[in-house]
Structure 1
Amino acid sequence: MTTARAVRWHAAGDLRLETFDISPPGDGEVLVAVAYCGVCGSDLHEIADGPHAIPVSTAHALSGTRAPITLGHEFSGTVVAVGNGVDALPLGTRVAVEPNYRCRTCTACREGRYEVCVGSGFAGLMGDGGMAEYAVVPEYMVRALPDGFDLAAAAVLEPAAVALHGIRRSTFAAGQAVLVVGLGPVGLLVCALLREKGAAAVIGIDPRPARRELAAKLGASVVLSPDDDVAAAVGQATDGVGVHVAFEVVGSQQTFDLALAGLRTGGELLLLGLVDELVLPAFRLLNNEQTITTSVGYRDCHDELIQMCAEGRLDLAAMVTDVVGLDEGPGALMRMVSDPGDGIKTLIHCEGEKRP
C-alpha cells in the first residue's frame, strides 16, 4: 500500500476523512495496520472547541507534527513493517499502542516516570494517531499481544492503563472500601480493577442509569445517583466510617466535593478528572489528615492489563457499546460532540489489516 485514509483534525468543528501517503517506518519505528481506534473525551473536546492539546502554530517537540493531525490515541492493530533497529516485533504481530511520547533523557524519564516527561504528549493529540488505516509509531509505544487477543478489546487497553495507573498512585490496599465518582470509561475500569484487586466495597456514583448498571456488572457493590443520599449510603456501606480512597474521575467542583464528602479521616482523594481549578477546604483537610493525590496518564501498565485479560480476569470488550467504520468516523464524532448519548466506548473500525 502507498496511501491510506485517516480522520484528520484541521480546526474545531473541522474534521475530514483524507487520503495520505504512507511513509515507510524510519529507524526505531513501526508501521501498524490499525484495526480499531477508541474515541476518547479528549478527542471530542478538541473537536468541540479546540485546540487544547493539539499543536497548531508550532510542531510538537517530540512528534515533529502540528495540525492538521490524525486523531486517535486508543488503538490496536498488526505490525506490517519495521524500521532499522526493530528486532523484537515480527511482521504479523498483534499489538496495542501505548501512545505517550517520551524524550528518554529528562530527569523524569531517567527516573522511569515517562508519563511526566518534560516533552510529554500523545500520538493522536500532539502527533498523528490511530484513527487511520495505517499509523507509524516509535517502537517504544508498541506492546505485543498474545496470539488471538481480541483487537477490539485491545483498543480499550489505553483507558484501562489510565485507570490502573491511578490505582497504583493511590494508597489503596485489598480489603479497603473505595468510592468512584464518575462512571465513564475510566471510572468503570477503576471499579473493575478495584474489585479484581480485592476491594471490600466499591461504591460508584454517576447520573446515567446505563453507566450505573454496567458498573454493577463490572464489580461495584453499590451504585448511586448524585441525587441519592450519598452520605447515608456511603455510611451504611462502611459502618459509618467513610471510604479509605475516593477516586474523582470527572473533573468538576461538584464531583470533587462529592468525593471528599465520602472520605474517612486519614483517607485519600485521588484526582483523575481534568479540571482547571478547584476550591479546597484546607482547614477540614488538615484537621482530618486527608490527602489529595493526582494521577496523569500511565507508565508500564499494559503488560499487567494484557495478562489480566488473557487470564479472563478483566473483560475490556464489555466496555465497547458502539463500533463504526472509518468512513463514518467524522460524522459519528460530530454527533457525539453534540450528543454523547448513553454509550460507554465507541470504536472506529479502521480495517487497515483487511485492505487489499
Structure 2
Amino acid sequence: MKAAVWHGARDVRIAETDVPTPGPDEVLIRVAYCGICGSDLHEYANGPHAIPTTAPHPASGVTAPLILGHEFCGTVAALGSSVADLAVGDPVAIEPNYRCGTCPRCQAGDYHICRHFGFAGLMGHGGLAEYAAVPRYMAHSLPAAVPLEQAALFEPASVALHALRRAESPRGSLAVVGLGPIGLLTVLLAARRGATRIIAVDVAPARLEIAARLGATDLVDASGGADAAAAVRGLTGGEGVDVAFEVVGSQAALDTCLGATRRGGRVVLVGLAQQVRLDAFALVNNEQSIISSVGYRDTYPELIRLVADEGVDLRPVVTSTVALKDVVDQGFEALLGGGGQIKVLVDPAPEAVATAPATHRAEAAR
C-alpha cells in the first residue's frame, strides 16, 4: 500500500509499505478520508514534537519513521481474531487516542489523559495511508446517515466538543479567538448547544464569514493591530463574555481572551503554546479562571447523533480534498502557505482528485 511516512522535519515521503496485519484485538481499516491537523503541520514543519524517535511509545511500540494522520475514517477490511462485533465492510470513524485501561485516569473514565497518552498517527502509525490497523476500541460504527466525509471531521469536532464541555457554560456568552478548523467547529457546536451569544474573532475575513454561517452572532476582525478584546467588551456592554476559547496557541490570543472575559469568567486553553505570560494581579483581582482542554473523551456518540439525527453538517470547514500522492505539496505546504486553506482532507484512493465538493469550495472562498 501507499502511505505518507514521516522521517523528519520537511521530510514526509509517499512510500510503498506492507498492508498491516491486525492483531487479535485490532481491526484493519481501508481508509476513506484522513484530515491534516495542526499537530501534523507542526511535526512536518519543525518536528519531532510528539513523534517518538528514540524510544518506542508504550502504547504503540512504534518509533519513527511512522505513518502520519489521526483524523480518519473508512470501512473495515479485516478483523483480528478476538473481534466479533464488527463485520468486513462496516463504515467506522476512528477515535485515535491510545488508552491502557488500567492506569488511575483510565479507571476513572478519563482515558484521554491516560498515563500512556498518545494518538495513532502521531505516536503510532496512522491514517495517511490506504490501510491502517487500530485497536478495536478506536473504531466507532457509523449508521448509513453519516457520510464518511463527515466522519473524517469527528476528530477535530471532538476537540471542540470537549472544550465546550470543559467550559461548563453551554448557554452563556462566549468568544472564540482563532478560526481554524477547531475554532470554527467550536462556533458550530456552541450554537447547537444553545449559547446565547457567540463572538468569533480572527484576522481573516473569509474565516469570519464562515463563522457567521456556522452560528456566530457577532464578528470581530482582529487584523491590523485592532484591539479585539475591547471590541468584544463593546459588544457586551462593557461586561465581557462568560467564556473565551483560545484556539490559536499564542500570547496575543491569550491576552485577547483574558481582556474579553468578564470578572469571574473563564478562559479555556485549546491552542498549543510553549510558554505564555500572565498578569497574575489582574487575574486574581478579576477572579478569572484559566483551564486547559486536551483531546476528548466520550464525544463520538454525540457527534454521530448530531450528524445522523439532527442533520449537523461539519463539512463547511473543508476547503480541499487531495490525493495521497499530493499530500506534501497540496496538503502540508498549502496549509503552511497561508493561501486560504482551512481543512484539507486526504483521499488515499487512486482516483482521488485535488478538489473539494463545489459547494464547500464556494463556501470557503466567499
The normalised TM-score by structure 1 is 0.95
Q: Distance in 2 between matches of 1:139 and 1:333?
A: 29
| Offset of residue 235 of structure 1 | 3.0
Aligned mates of 1:307, 1:142 — CA distance in 2: 16
Q: Hey, what's the Cα distance between the residues in 2 that align with 1:339 and 1:230?
A: 25
Give the superposition deviation at 1:116.
0.8
Deviations 1:7-61 (A, max 9, x none): 1001111111111111321111000000000011111111111111111111111
Greater RCO between the two (CA within 8 Å, min separation 6)? 1
Q: Whole-Å Cα distance in 2 between the matches of residues 221 and 201 of structure 1?
A: 6
Q: Counterpart of 2:242?
A: 244
> Secondary structure of the equivalent of 1:292?
strand
Q: CA deviation at 1:238?
A: 2.0
Counterpart of 2:119? 122
- C-alpha distance in 2 between matches for 1:239 and 1:159: 33
Structure 1 window deviating more from structure 2 (292-301 vs 326-335): it is: 326-335
Residue 67 of structure 2 corresponds to which residue in structure 1? 70
Partner of 2:245, secondary structure, is: strand
Q: Tell me the equivalent position of 2:36.
A: 39
SS at match of 1:46: helix
Across the two proteins, how many residue pairs are aligned to each other? 350
Q: Are the structure 2 counterparts of residues 262 and 334 from structure 1 closer, same or farther at C-alpha, using a change threshold of 3 Å?
A: closer
CA RMSD in angstroms comes to: 1.6
Q: Does 1:234 align with 2:221?
A: no
The residue that corresponds to 1:291 in the other structure is 289
**What's 2:46 paired with?**
49
The whole-number CA distance in structure 2 between the counterparts of 1:338 and 1:278 is: 23
Of residues 87, 90, 97 in structure 2, which corresponds to 1:90?
Answer: 87
Correspondence for 1:135: 132
User: Match for residue 163 of structure 1?
Assistant: 160
Deviation at 1:334, TM superposition (A): 4.5
Do 1:13 and 1:334's aligned partners in 2 also have CA atoms closer than 8 Å? no
Farther off after superposition, 285-294 or 180-189: 285-294
- In the TM superposition, residue 323 of structure 1 has moved relative to its aligned partner by 0.5
1:180 alignment partner, SS class? strand
Aligned counterpart, 1:187: 183
| Residue 314 (structure 1) shift | 2.1
- CA distance in 2: counterparts of 1:313 and 1:237, whole angstroms: 31
1:33–1:353 contact (8 Å) kept in structure 2 = no
Contact 2:145 2:308 in 1 (8 A): no
Distance 2:202 2:316 in 1: 18
CA offset at residue 218 of structure 1?
A: 0.3
Hey, what does 1:317 align to over in structure 2? 315
Paired with 1:340 and 1:231, the residues of 2 have a C-alpha distance of 24
Residues 330-339 or 199-208, more deviating: 330-339
| Larger deviation, residues 159-168 vs 221-230 | 221-230
Contact 2:30–2:77 (Cα < 8 Å) also in 1: yes
Shift of 1:171: 2.0
The structural deviation recorded for 1:337 is 5.8
* Residue range with higher mean Cα deviation, 28-37 or 144-153: 144-153
Cα 1:173–1:23 change in 2 (3 A) is closer
Single out whichever of 64-73 and 232-241 deviates more from structure 2.
232-241
CA contact (8 A) 1:34 1:353 kept: no
Q: Distance in 2 between matches of 1:167 and 1:311?
A: 21
Q: State how far apart, in whole Å, the 2-side matches of 1:125 and 1:57 are.
A: 14
Find the aligned partners of 2:75 and 2:95 in 1 and give their Cα distance: 14
Report the CA distance between 1:351 and its aligned residue: 2.4
SS at match of 1:92: coil
Q: C-alpha displacement at 1:313, in angstroms? A: 4.4
Secondary structure of the structure 2 residue equivalent to 1:122: coil
Using the aligned pairs only, state the percent identity.
49
**Residue 148 (structure 1) shift:** 4.4
- State which drifts further: 149-158 or 181-190: 149-158
Q: What are the residue-to-residue correspondences of 1:330-341 with 2, within 5 Å?
A: 330-336=328-334, 338-341=336-339
Extract unaligned runs of 5+ from structure 2.
Answer: 353-366
Deviations 1:204-236 (A, max 9, x none): 111111111100100111111114453453234
Aligned equivalent of 2:268: 270
